[in-house]
A and B are shown apart, each in its own frame.
Chain A
Amino acid sequence: MKDMSIDTIAASRAATVTALSPVARFSLRGRGDAVAALSAALGVELLARVGARAQAGARDVLCLGPDEWMIHAPEGDAAAIINACAGVAAPHALVEVSDRELSYAITGPQAAELLTLGCPRDPDSIAVGEGRRTVFDGATVILWRDGRDAFRMDVWRSFAPHVTHLLATGCRELALG
């Protein structure tokens, strides 16, 4: 088993929960003509289907709602994203929410099962490469599914102690068999 680093919240043979490094996060709202213009400005197509994701370089964009997207990018890319959207004349709203949320990696053979501890929806209904906003034990979270056994979860920071405590408990319980 790998060493418990200070970023490891919990680890068992069932799953591992790790705190991820900060990223730049943006909430982007727009509709109509703004969508194509914003896609061109960002260099990433803003997909229309809820849950679909598109990437360009290190920018990862998830469609949360019919006129709403979440952008993740390296912290150093934040200014470039703000500048790119500032040049779009069509009405839209770009709000930096980098400090609002914390992200955790949930990986391992029972990662999806661990999420069922708090998610009423079936985590397996999120296809690999997609994402969803959903709820985990009362807290709104965003799940990004990067692989069959690899999820990331964005949590509003005030809910993080509750969510991570529950995930840690689940890690232990699942490992008991």
Chain B
Amino acid sequence: MDFKPCVNINKELDIVGARQLGRTRAKELGFGTVDQARIATAISELARNIYLYAGKGKVCFEVIDQLDKQGLKVVASDEGPGIRDISQVMQDGYSTSGGLGAGLPGVKRLMDHFEIHSEWGKGTEIQAIKWVR
């Protein structure tokens, strides 16, 4: 498969571009409509955080092939301010939208695997995987 791996996030419209590319990849991999919508929403959350808190960064996609399963990996990375207290932001009800289920805990729920690395003053990288069912 010919793969354009990344979308740069500089302005709000880039969030839409990231969603679009993610959805295309998800479709190619054979995700159903519900999972496509979930992946797109997760990408939105990650891309919007980059846009809002880091100013710029990128969202990249990778196909993961394992013996028994295939998945889509979304990697959102930036060199913004980083997150000081990760366990706090991963708590339900912490995000500024407050108790609406979205934000980073929402991304974790939408995807099957979630990993966050962030260093205060250096940047943030979030990896999330969804397996094809």
- Please determine whether chains A and B interact with each other in the same assembly: no
Q: Which positions in B face A, CB cutoff 8 Å?
A: none
